[in-house]
Structure formats: structure tokens, C-alpha cells
Amino acid sequence: MKFFIDTANVEQIKEANDMGVLDGVTTNPSLMAKEGIKGEENCRKHYVTICNIVNGDVSAEVIATQYEGMIREGEELAALHPNIVVKIPCTADGIKAIKYFSSKGIRTNCTLVFSPGQALLAAKAGATYVSPFVGRLDDISSDGIELVEKIVNMYATYGFHTNVLAASIRSTQHIIQCIEAGADVATCPLSAIKGLLKHPLTDSGLATFLADHERVNR
């Protein structure tokens, strides 16, 4: 399973990239706003900065909600850097735009997906990635991981090539569940990725190794 980091924070992207396990980045307008990045020009500069850090796909989301605007904005975003994947919401205009970009060889990430039906439309339109939002479904007492499983199974049954990119990941446990569900990618906060390292037996085992080494070498 690939790891993307779900942030527009350059320091966190660098830290994850330096670990050597980062495969890409996802952003959205809320994550860009959180970093205080405003204005079209600044946003685009920021996407290029991220693309120059990570050797992998970087999702940049369109703000337009109508088909023509999505096409114009998506083409401009895709032209910024070869790593850019155009992120498009799962609406009627969005699905139509994904179909257009697919025919032009421009990679897309269909976002804000909450049902297998939406994921079916994204795949039929030729999306490169589909993003089911795990945490936001859990927030409303639904089951986000179950949705990931359903999409993985549907794509396998019908031979779709769209990658299942589990998004709205909130915890290390979510990452483990994504692996079990067969997700192609999980896009995660840095804290959840670092959480994978933690095990008390690793800490206590290392302490014992070092103490034994010290005992016979002092």
C-alpha cells in the first residue's frame, strides 16, 4: 500500500519525505487555508514547492464547481508540474470533467466520495484515484473502512483500474484497517504515519540491547 501525506504543511511533507517512505501528497482547500495560503498565484506556487519536494503524485483541488471552470482550472493545474493530479469533487460536473481529463491523459483524483455508487461513477469516468473519506463517515456513526472494502471489491470484480485512495484517515489504526481492506493508497496525517513505528516491546527491547552492550563494554 502506498503512503501519501494529507497536508499542505511543507515542514511535515519534508519530514515524511525524509523518512523515505512517502509516495505522494494530497491537499484540499481547507488544508491550504490552514497554512494561510491564499490567492490563486500563491496556491499554485505552493503546489510547485510541494512537487519539488516529493517524487510522487500531488493532488491539487479545483475550486470551480461548473464543468467549464473545472476544465480550465484543471488544465492550468496539470500544466504546473508533471506530479500534479487534478482533484475534482464527486458531482455531476465533476464526473464529466474527470471523463474529459481521462481522455486527455490528465490524471485525476475524485474526492468527497461517501458511497459505492459514487465510486462506480468515478471509475467509469476514468479517474486515476477515488477518495473515500473514512473518518468523516465514522464521524456520523457510519463505517468508513467498510466503504473502502466495498470499493476495493467492486473494482476487482469489474476490473476497474482506478486506485482506491483512502482519505480522511485520522489514526494509525485506520492505516492498519486500510491495509486489511486492500486500499491501494492511504493518505494520512504525519502523526498517524509515525504512530506505525510505536511498540512498547521495540522500546524495551532496544533498552535491553543497549544496557547489555554497555555492561560488557564498559
* Cβ-count burial 42-56 (b if 16+ within 10 Å, e if not): ebbebbeebbebbeb
Helix (DSSP H) and strand (DSSP E) numbers for the chain: 11, 8
Q: Which of 3, 5, 6, 152 binds ligand G3P (CB under 6 A)?
A: 6
CB of 125 to ligand G3P, least distance (A): 19
- The radius of gyration computed from the CA coordinates of the chain, to the nearest angstrom, equals 19
Instruction: Closer to ligand G3P by CB, 95 or 169: give it.
Output: 169
* Site residues (CB under 6 A) for ligand G3P, limited to 16-45: 26, 28, 31
Q: Which of 187, 190, 192, 193 binds ligand G3P (CB under 6 A)?
A: 187
CB of 28 to ligand G3P, least distance (A): 5
> Taking the CB of residue 170, how many other CB atoms lie within 10 A of it?
18
Distance from C-alpha of 189 to C-alpha of 7, rounded to nearest angstrom? 7
Instruction: Closer to ligand G3P by CB, 100 or 119: give it.
Output: 119
Would you give the binding string for ligand G3P spanning residues 122-151, x where CB under 6 A is met?
-----------x-xx---------------
| Catalytic machinery residues | 87
CB of 205 to ligand G3P, least distance (A): 34
Place of cell 508533471: 82
CB of 111 to ligand G3P, least distance (A): 7
* Site residues (CB under 6 A) for ligand G3P, limited to 151-180: 167-168, 170
* Cβ-count burial 137-148 (b if 16+ within 10 Å, e if not): bbeeeeebbebb
Distance from C-alpha of 185 to C-alpha of 198, rounded to nearest angstrom? 21
Alpha-carbon distances, residue 104 vs 108, 116, 182 (angstroms): 11, 26, 29
**Could you list the residues that contact ligand G3P (CB under 6 A)?**
6, 26, 28, 31, 133, 135-136, 167-168, 170, 187
